[in-house]
Amino acid sequence: MASQLAKEKVAQAWYTPKTKKVVMDIDLAEAFADILDEVWSQPWLGKATTRQLIEELMARVDLDYKTVGYEKAAPEDDNPART
């Protein structure tokens, strides 16, 4: 059974300027709503937990990074701005 959100999104298709004169086919609308729910349930579309997202990011990025604006500080003897 399709979720209420999926049903509402599918129903919007019959309320556009181009389609507002088309009679809604309830069976077709239900089938589209079921398909939307199936697609929305895929983890790559937002159903992942925070931990899963972090693990995915860690697997995809190089963790050698620098803070924005970071510059390696010179030894204190060589940096007159610190005196």
pLDDT digits (tens, 9 = 90+) for 3-42: 899 899 999 998 899 998 999 999 999 998 998 888 777 7
Burial class (CB in 10 A: 0-12, 13-18, 19+), 10: buried
Give pTM, 2 decimals: 0.51
Check if the beta carbon of residue 5 is closer than 8 Å to that of residue 34. Answer: no
- Share of residues in the chain with pLDDT > 70 (%): 64
Sign of CA dihedral 25, 27, 28, 29: positive
**Terminal Cα distance for the chain, rounded:** 72
Name the strand (E) or helix (H) holding 28.
helix 26-40
Predicted pLDDT of residue 1 = 86
